[in-house]
Amino acid sequence: MRGAERPSSPDGFFSAREGNERPRIITVSGASKDVGKSTLAAFLASRCRACAGMKVSVHRERPPGEAVIEEGETPLRPDTDTGRLRLAGARPVLWLRTRREDLAQDLKEALARLQAPVIIVEGNSVLRHLEPDFAVFVMSATFEDFKPSAYEALKKAHVVLVNGVEDISGRKALELERKIKEYNPKAKTVMVAELGREKAWEVVLSRAAARIGGDLMSSEVEERVMQAVKEKAEDGRLPCPVALKLAEELKVPPLEVGKAANALNVKIVKCSLGCF
C-alpha cells in the first residue's frame, strides 16, 4: 500500500475516492464503550475475502512504547478488540495508540503498513482524517451515553446500527430515527430490536458489500459450519480444542470455524495454538 504517496483531501490526508487500486476502507465507530463496535467489526472482517484490521485508541498522554503494536499470530487475549479482528481472519491487525495531536501522522504511518484489499478500522477520531468507503456507527437506543467524539462520527456514517434487543415501541423508534436524521439525514438506520440481530447485521453487511464491492465481501459462511458451531458452543463460548475437532470433522480450514464463530458472536477460548 502506498499510503505516504497519496495527496491530501479536504477531510484529512486520505480520501477513499482516490485511485482505483487503493484498499477499501471500512470504519466502525460508536456512541460509547461496550456498545458492540468490536463485535460488529469482527463480523465484517469474517465476511471479507481478504482484509487487514486496526484498532485506534486516542489518549491524553502518549502511551509508553511503540505507537503501533501488531497483534500476534496467537492473540494473548482473544477477547480484546484486536484479538477478535485477528480471530475473524483479518491479517495483519494493528493497535494504534496515540494522542489527538499525533493521530493524523501516526494513522498515516500505520495505514502504510497494511497491504490488503480491505482495511477495517475501529475508532471514532479516525474519521477526522479518513473519508471511508463505508462507515457504520453503533449506538444504543438513547443519546444519553454519547461521548464527545461520537457526534462527529455519527455525522459521517452511512449506516447507524441501533444495538440491543430492548423493546422499542413504534413511537419511540420513530423519535429515535428522527433524532438520528437531525445529525445525519442520509444515514440508513437499522434497529436490532425490530429486525433481530442476525437480520440487522446482514443489512449492514449488504450495505457494506454494495459500497466496497461484492467481490471483496461475501455474506456466505457455510451453513453446516454455522450449525455445528451453534451446537457445540455453550454460553457463547467454544473451546479451541473443540473448534479444531470441528474443523477436522467438517474437513474445512480452522479459519472457517473461526469465521462462523465470529458471525455468531461465539468466543473461541483457551486458544494457544494460533489456529484462529
Q: Domain ranges in the chain?
A: 23-211, 223-269
pLDDT tens-place string over residues 100-130: 999 999 999 999 999 899 999 999 999 999 9
Q: What is the pTM of this model?
A: 0.75
pLDDT tens-place string over residues 223-244: 788 889 989 999 888 888 898 8
CA–CA distance, 256 with 169 (Å, rounded to integer): 38
In CATH, 23-211 is 3.50.30.40: no
CA–CA distance, 175 with 231 (Å, rounded to integer): 39
In the 8-state DSSP scheme, what is residue 101? G
Strands (E) located in 16-62? 24-30, 51-59
Q: Which residue intervals of the chain are DSSP H helices?
A: 37-46, 81-87, 103-112, 148-156, 170-183, 192-195, 197-212, 223-232, 240-250, 254-263
pLDDT for residue 261:
79
Query: What is the percentage of the chain residues whose pLDDT exceeds 70?
Result: 84
At 259, the amino acid letter reads K
